Structure 1
Amino acid sequence: MKKIRELIVFTAFLVVALWKFDVVIEVLKSIWKIVFPFALGGAIAFVINVPMSFLEKKMLGKIKENNKIGKKAARPISLLLTIILAAGVMVLVMFGVIPQLTQTMGNLMTSISDFIPQMQNWIREFSHDNQDIMKLVDQLQFQPDQAIKWGISLLGNGVGNMMNTTMSAVGSIASGLATFFISFSFACYILFQKEKLHLQVRKVIFAFIPKQKADAILNICSLTYRTFANFLAGQCLEAVILGMMFVITLSILKMPYALLIGILIAFTALVPIFGAFIGCAVGSFLIFMVNPKQAVLFIIVFLLLQQIEGNLIYPHVVGGSVGLPSIWVLAAVTIGGNLMGIIGMLIFIPLVSVFYTIFREFVYLRLKKQHIKRVTRTDVEEYAEEEIASSFILPNEK
């Protein structure tokens, strides 16, 4: 009777939600707007917790054991070091990449203007001076002065439009800063009180949910945290190693834009499978504008370093932390990219890994219930009678 009443109530809520679908969406948007700073704070805390925990355990662990003051100061110090590390990365990008990128744009205009006559000569030789083809090729012109004027006019229009909406822009910036301040403060609170919060969450779950289901929920949460944390740490470390390999190799070979291309590949390598190839395409284009022969050499170097990274570095750095077969990694990246862009590519791999692990355990449990020990391509092996009697216990018989 209770289940029937719950089903009737659920059906009534579902009918009302579908009938007033627009109202439900607006209510959900309002709720999300309120909850968003705290959700963002939780995400920031999760990301910061990975390097902070490493510093707290590996670097400050001995101090915590031998000193009470050190035990209290270990977490604030590790959090401060993590923030300094993140700020250092941002400073490196701002002062190491942006100035070189500005210089690259200037050199790129000169390179394009010098490259077009060379390309016209190559096409003339390849086409044996075909007049129809050369009429089309001769129309290709690049004037740096006109490109600069176009950029200035575009910037001027953007500035004019921005000035027309100054108050709106200031309001958006102020709102964004306030949201970030609330989120960051909430993240710091979570990091300082994470053991206490963990204990409180466990108490609430066991208070309102049966013990068997509560254990299952906590196991899934623990699996999710480990998978995401291992993937994040491994992917970031692997991207740094790959970027350093490119900077060192390109510098030894005296190729242009070594630092810029190395940092670009390091950032794009955070996106599994496709990311590094995006960096390769951009790097190849930049080098091609300076020296086409070096661009071919860069592609060869990229393929060699990718093989070294894929076969030697990635298995040891990331290893089996994700636990997904390659085909499911590709599917996760594709689906996540279509749904949520780059963020989806990063989130869906560990998310699919969690679902894959849970589903695999469910399959093994179903096989045990049917007394099936192993399934091969041609045979199904069942448990022997002695094994069933001595070691196999069904969950409802425990």
Structure 2
Amino acid sequence: MFQKRSIRILITLILIFVLVYLIYLTRFIFEPVGAYLTAIAVPIIGAGIIFYITNPIVNWLEKKKVPRIAGTFIVFLLVVFFVAIVIQFIAPIVQKQFSNFVDSVPKMVDNTIQLFEMWQENQNIIPPQFENAIQNMIDNLSGYAERITSGIIGVIGQIFSFIFAIFLIPFFLFFMLKDGYKFVPFVTKFLSPAKAESFKTLTANINHTLSSFIQGQFIVSVCVGAMLYIGYLIIELNYSLTLALFGLVMNFIPFVGPFLSAIPAIIVGFFQDPMLAVWATVVMVVAQQIESNFISPNVMGRALSLHPLTVITLILAAGGIAGFIGLLFIIPAYAVIKTIISHFYHEWQRKQPEDDPDLF
């Protein structure tokens, strides 16, 4: 039995490899499909995130005998109201603080150069290699500042390039909220009863995985952003709202996100007042301790059941391959893939003889 099963597994792996190779050879056929998916990726992903945040409200209204179409319109009004508040009150402050921060970058660079020069003048004995390294860093500091500024401008340009796609999000979201529940019954009509039941289970598990991550991470990130904003206001840190929003977004990246969000706050605090860098670090540590010990255990629990080492490895790989976008989406993507593989493995295991259910 072991040999026969091993041969079947080996043949399956070979066939998968051949299939992947054939797809690679005929990749020109899939290029239009890839272009199409790339074009609709932003509205679908954006609408999907908002869908998992707002769908519980529509479901709750439906349980209260409110028609789903009416509940969808109510949720849309709430989303429009929230966006209007952001545009009216928050966006101007963030835009002003961000502009001031960009304008202050050259001054920060000059202060850094002066700090290095002052430190260099006060040193009696400096190894030549170390002195040369410092001098090279000082000489290249202006270039680094220009690269940072151009990088910021490039990011802004990319954001504007997504404006049209973002405008499509409400249309996708409307039909997701209105007709999303019809997808599974529509597909199962074409499947046998056993496969239909398996498909229902699979989609339910995927839905639970995504909703657990998106809803939980959204609540946790909003709480962390609010705590950071309050803390930055208390210590009177410049650009407090912008830095708090940056921390909110970074908190969607597990483990690494909080450390990334602390870097700009510490840098801004150091140039404003060196002691503020310490207080900014204290604010970040306190917020993360409250989040990790009180908020996340009650909101997130162990919904994804991912080992911390697995998360760190995935983040490192995704950051190197896809950059910031990879950091944001690698964890839910991995969780979904893990859910799919686990489902099909249990389905395969269930069909094996009771006396020999193991894979090997």
Compute the TM-score of the two structures, normalised by the length of structure 2. 0.72
Cα offset, 1:195, TM superposition: 3.1
Tell me by how many angstroms 1:136 deviates: 9.0
Distance 1:178 1:259 in 2: 27
Supply the distance in 2 between the matched residues of 1:178 and 1:260 (Cα, whole angstroms).
Answer: 24
Q: 1:238 aligns with which of 220, 245, 259?
A: 220
The CA deviation at 1:274 is: 0.9
Which protein is bigger by CA-based radius of gyration?
Answer: 1
Does 2:286 correspond to 1:286?
Answer: no
Measure, in 1, the Cα distance between the counterparts of 2:184 and 2:127: 77
Q: Which of 242, 245, 266 does residue 263 from structure 1 map onto?
A: 245
Q: Which amino acid aligns with 2:53?
A: P
Contact 1:120 1:137 in 2 (8 A): no
Cα distance in 2 for residues equivalent to 1:77 and 1:290: 45
Question: CA distance change for structure 1 residues 45 and 279 in 2, over 3 Å: closer, same or farther?
Answer: closer
Out of 188, 203, 206, the residue aligned to residue 202 of structure 1 is 188
Alignment of 1:114-193 (within 5 A): 114=111, 116-125=113-122, 127-128=123-124, 184-193=170-179
The gaps in structure 1 that reach 5 residues or longer are 1-6, 163-168, 373-398
Aligned residue identity for 1:121: M
Deviation of 1:40 after TM superposition, in Å, equals 5.0
Partner of 2:202: 220
Q: TM-score, normalised by structure 1?
A: 0.66
Q: 1:103, CA displacement in angstroms?
A: 1.2
Matches of 1:192 and 1:98 in 2, distance apart? 35
- The answer as to whether partners of 2:40 and 2:165 remain within 8 angstroms in 1 is no
Kindly provide the amino acid, as one letter, of the partner of residue 220 in structure 2: E
Aligned partners of 2:321 and 2:124: how far apart in 1?
49
Report the Cα distance in structure 2 between the residues aligned to 1:135 and 1:19, rounded to whole angstroms: 54
Query: Using a 3 Å threshold, how does the CA distance of structure 1 residues 211 and 92 change in structure 2: closer, same or farther?
Result: farther
CA distances 1:356-396 after superposition (whole Å, capped 9, x unpaired)? 45639839969994599xxxxxxxxxxxxxxxxxxxxxxxx
Equivalent residue for 1:341, pick from 323, 332, 335: 323
Deviations 1:260-290 (A, max 9, x none): 2211111111111111211111221121122
The gaps in structure 2 that reach 5 residues or longer are 1-10
- 1:27 corresponds, among 26, 29, 37, to 29
Aligned-residue offset at 1:245: 0.8
**Cα offset, 1:242, TM superposition:** 0.8
Residues 304-350 of structure 1: CA deviation (Å, up to 9, x unaligned): 32222212222112212222232332233334334433333333323
Cα gap change, 1:347/1:217 in structure 2, threshold over 3 Å: closer, same or farther?
A: farther
Q: Which has the higher contact order (CA 8 A, sep 6+)?
A: 2
Taking structure 1 as reference, are residues 355 and 110 closer, same or farther at Cα in structure 2, changes over 3 Å only? closer
- The one-letter code of the counterpart of 1:236 is F
The answer (yes or no) to whether the contact 2:44–2:172 under 8 Å persists in 1 is: yes
Structure 2 distance, partners of 1:328, 1:136, is 37
Between the aligned residues of both structures, percent identity stands at: 20
**Residue identity opposite 2:94 in structure 1:** V
Cα distance in structure 2, aligned partners of 1:77 and 1:228:
23
Partners of 2:23 and 2:289 lie apart in 1 by: 55
Q: Matches of residues 271-310 of structure 1 in structure 2 within 5 Å?
A: 271-310=253-292
Does the aligned pair in 2 maintain the 1:52–1:79 contact within 8 Å? Answer: no
Number of residue equivalences: 328
CA distance, structure 2, for counterparts of residue 195 and residue 72 of structure 1: 12
Q: Map 1:2-21; keep pairs closer than 5 Å.
A: none
Alpha carbons 1:255, 1:294 under 8 Å: kept: yes
